[in-house]
Amino acid sequence: MIVELVKTITAFDFTLEKERVFRTAECYPGMPSYKKAETIYPEIVQGLRNAVSPCAWICFGKTHWYCLLTLGSGAEPYVVSCAKDTLLKGLLADKAAEELLFSMDSTVAAAVKAECRRREVGIKRRLEAPEQLPWKAQQIILKKIEKNQHTGVTVSGSYVFHPPRSMGYILELTHKQDCFAAVHDCSTCKNKECLRRNGRQPLSGPQVQAAEKPD
């Protein structure tokens, strides 16, 4: 049986949860900008669909697998163009792109699980920068994948991926096939204020009424 060194994934579900996008944009019912946001949101999602070219790669090593995900080079210019239109449109486009990138991770996780069954291994833990790895690990991830597959992604001298809407992580393998810790663990993240964080409560009614977002 031929075992591939790198798996490329290009088929992703474009479904975005509006509630999650609005939550991370801190745009809630009762705010002055909420109705306007609901009106322009479908246009933003459609524009984002046309702008992105999502792709992900998994590089299979003996003890670790290296994962890289990107929305492609068109995502950031689209977000910037929305921001030039209005601040609210730019904010929603930014959060929708962010949500789309994170939603890609679910598809990658499913592919990882299938490969675990195929190769009879498990995932002991997921390693990400800067929580479990130094930022330099971004460069290592890219080099591992680029040895066998051109991605179009680069990394800067400060170890930041380009295009900007890209992310990478490393999966540590284990012989325990029933172990699967390949998804992001919010409990290990240092960003305690992240609105995407599991268990974080939404703003209460009075706070929503007092807060405003730009038109």
pLDDT above 90: percentage of residues in the chain: 80
In tens, the pLDDT along 24-79 reads: 999 999 999 999 999 999 999 999 999 999 999 999 999 999 999 999 999 999 99
Q: What is the pTM of this model?
A: 0.85
Are residues 129 and 137 in contact, defined by beta-carbon separation less than 8 angstroms? yes
> CA 7, CA 176: separation in Å to the nearest integer?
22
Are residues 24 and 92 in contact, defined by beta-carbon separation less than 8 angstroms? no
In tens, the pLDDT along 190-213 reads: 555 655 555 444 443 333 333 333
Tell me, what's the pLDDT at 155? 96
- Give the strand pairing for 64-70 and 55-60: antiparallel
Domains parsed from the chain with CATH numbers? 18-190 (3.40.109.40)
Please tell me whether residue 171 adopts helix, strand or coil conformation.
strand
Tell me, what's the pLDDT at 193? 60
Sequence length of the chain is 215
> CA 63, CA 173: separation in Å to the nearest integer?
5
What integer is the mean pLDDT of 111-120? 96
Q: Residues with Cβ < 8 Å from 71, sequence gap 6 or more? A: 52, 53, 54, 97, 100, 101, 104, 163, 165, 166
Tell me, what's the pLDDT at 211? 35
Give yes or no for residue 97 having a pLDDT over 70: yes
Q: What angle do CA 69, 49, 196 make, to 5 degrees?
A: 55
Q: Which of these ranges, 17-21, 74-78, 94-98, has the smallest mean pLDDT?
A: 17-21
Please tell me whether residue 122 adopts helix, strand or coil conformation.
strand
